[in-house]
Amino acid sequence: MRIAIVDDIASEREYLKNELDTQLARLFLDAAVYCFSSGAAFLDAAKEERFDLVFLDIYMESENGVDTAQALRRFDTDCLLVFTTTSTDHALDGFRVRAFHYLVKPCTQEVLTSLFDEIVKRLPADDRYIEVNTAGGMVRLRFREILYAQHHQHQIHIYRTDGQETVARQTFRELCASLSDRRFFPCSRGVIVNMEHAGDFDGTDFIMKNGKRIPVSRDLAKAARMAFGDFLFERGEV
């Protein structure tokens, strides 16, 4: 994921970047944050490689952030746009360029936490990851790399799309809490599956695309069918 901060004041850019780093770590989001001192410089970069999210100051010394946003929308209609400003006077202009939010300076950590809880629902899912403690140290795993995980003899065995297995030292409850994403479904007290790698659910098992069958406890079968159906619907596969 690529995030841009556009502000002509260096201290404001640095402050916001530090706050974003805190939020990214909290939500286990893998992202690169780029800072720009002008709208023109940002637009040049955005034309080369698109950004997923931009924090754009409205009141810059020689530029108006709304003008920059209008120029951005001419070639990128999907980038999430957050205006950073001391006033919401440009609310109508923000509507016209489909601004996601206004961040009024000075912003607090509480405000950013609430904002990022909303932003994370709209950002590319492939950028999320977990860090697990293994015998060899901390290992970072992207959500999309995980097929399923199983608790066995006080350890978590995480089976990956590359055919490898990662053994983590944590409780199953802790693992489920870290996999807070709709693609993951807890099949029983000790097994959680990544439904994006499931080809079907036959009422008793998730049938993975690699042929592996992941049993679901009887009392969770109805919930599993509903969760899998909702997941496929959201992805446009049904």
* Residue 155 belongs to domain with CATH number: 2.40.50.1020
- pLDDT tens string 39-82: 999 999 999 999 999 999 988 877 888 889 999 999 998 889 99
- Same domain as 118, residue 61: yes
Please state, in angstroms and as integers, the Cα–Cα distance from residue 178 to each residue in 90, 136, 160, 220, following that order. 38, 20, 16, 21
- Same domain as 145, residue 112: no
Omega before 215 within 30 of 0, i.e. cis? no
- Same domain as 201, residue 116: no
Report the SS3 class of residue 128.
strand
Q: Are 192 and 186 in contact (CB under 8 A)?
A: yes
Tell me the one-letter amino acid at 155.
Q
- Same domain as 81, residue 16: yes
Mean pLDDT of the chain: 87
Which residues is 191 bridged to in the sheet? Answer: 150
- Same domain as 222, residue 192: yes
Task: Name the band, by pLDDT with cuts 50, 70 and 90, for residue 99.
Answer: confident
Using alpha carbons only, give the angle 60, 105, 15 rounded to the nearest 5 degrees. Answer: 85
- Same domain as 146, residue 56: no
Tell me the one-letter amino acid at 210.
N
- Same domain as 6, residue 119: yes
Domain closes at, from 80, 95, 124: 124
d(CA 113, CA 53) in angstroms, rounded, equals: 16
Across 204-221, average pLDDT: 95
d(CA 56, CA 36) in angstroms, rounded, equals: 10
Task: Give the pTM.
Answer: 0.64
- Same domain as 115, residue 18: yes
d(CA 188, CA 206) in angstroms, rounded, equals: 12
Domain closes at, from 124, 149, 168: 124
Q: 206 is in which domain, residue-wise?
A: 141-234
Return the CATH number at 24.
3.40.50.2300
